Amino acid sequence: MEDPKIVAERIVANVENVIVGKNRELRLAITALLCGGHMLIEDVPGVGKTMLARAIAASTGCTFRRIQFTPDLLPSDITGVSIYNQKEADFEFRPGPIIAQVVLADEVNRATPKTQSALLEAMEERQVTVDGVTHKMPLPFMVMATQNPIEYEGTFPLPEAQLDRFMIRVHLGYPSPTDEVLVLDQQQTIHPVETIKQVTDATEILQVQRAVKEIYVDPLIKQYIVALANATREHESVYLGASPRGSLALFRTAQARALLEARDFVTPDDVKDLALVTLGHRIILSPGAKVKGITVSDVVAACLSRVPVPGSRARV
């Protein structure tokens, strides 16, 4: 297998032909892909959320489906349905759009909680069950969900169980004026996503995902990750802290970041850099903290300052 870092960098460079000036966000998206995780993109319309998902799918040669979430969308519209085939005198399964390798769940908070829950089994178990029959997802499998944090009319906030399934939450943000001019130049005649080339394939992505799991994590780093997650649970401004799934997300993404940096071991800086994007959306602030204007970023920063960085041998 080719060097995993080279594979990852090739994907990042290719996607940057479409998404301009967002190198860190692109690397976080690739990090989620290499971990086999899912990503929630929370931002205003028009900043490239959909194009990011399309570009990643095109770069990796993965199958891509888009689900436009609306209030009248049904769970069966996502998972698929069993239809009676008169010719065969039997039921046949018509797969829904969730059965793809890269799935864009666009404006996921516009669907009802019942429909949102249709994603739960697919995201966690990599399968859907329709009429008692289980159907496996193709691998690699990644859900990239988007939501608009500004417009709340006609939306249904994602429940905590749903948020917890996302490994990473990112905000793309507006491009700089220089980058925005470059976007205008690129799209003067044709959108670059239409001409983007495939630079790897699903088989290679699965090999890199296995390589990520082989990255060494010292016992001290594991204790550090757990201590950070525990600090969010004990923080005075927090009603509900990060779950053990959050600790695992921080652990796995730190391994992927080390691989992207061409290292075979995780450092405390990897953990610090990824703490907010992996733990932030799992934290629920107390009502008093919201009144005081305290944000999730403030809580994660406080936890990072309170928890000692590993510097001695782990206790056994």
The pLDDT-based confidence of 208 (bands split at 50, 70, 90) is very high
pLDDT-wise least confident of 128-132, 147-151, 190-194, 230-234: 147-151
Q: Considering the domain 215-306, what is its CATH architecture?
A: Orthogonal Bundle (1.10)
Q: Which residues of 273-290 are buried (b: 16+ CB within 10 A; e: fewer)?
A: ebbbbbbbbbbebeeebe
Q: In the chain, which residues fall in CATH 1.10.8.80?
A: 215-306
Q: In the chain, which residues fall in CATH 3.40.50.300?
A: 4-207
**Coil, strand, or helix at residue 284?**
strand
pLDDT of residue 316: 44
DSSP letters, 113-164, are HHHHTHHHHHHHHSEEEETTEEEEPPSS-EEEEEE-SS--TT--PPPHHHHT
Alpha-carbon span 223 to 156, nearest angstrom: 36
Question: Looking at the whole model, is its pTM more than 0.85?
Answer: yes
* CA distances from residue 162 to 117, 118, 244, 296 in whole angstroms, order as listed: 7, 10, 15, 18
Four-CA torsion 36, 38, 43, 48, nearest 10 degrees: 50
The single-letter DSSP state of residue 94 is: E
* CA distances from residue 119 to 57, 80, 111, 205, 299 in whole angstroms, order as listed: 19, 12, 11, 23, 29
CATH 3.40.50.300 matches 4-207: yes
In this prediction, what percent of the chain has a pLDDT beyond 90? 45
Indicate whether 315 pLDDT > 60.
no
Indicate whether 61 pLDDT > 80.
yes
Count of CB atoms situated within 10 Å of the CB of 7: 22
The pLDDT-based confidence of 154 (bands split at 50, 70, 90) is low
Please, is 190 exposed, middle or buried when counting C-beta atoms within 10 Å of its C-beta (0-12, 13-18, 19+)? exposed
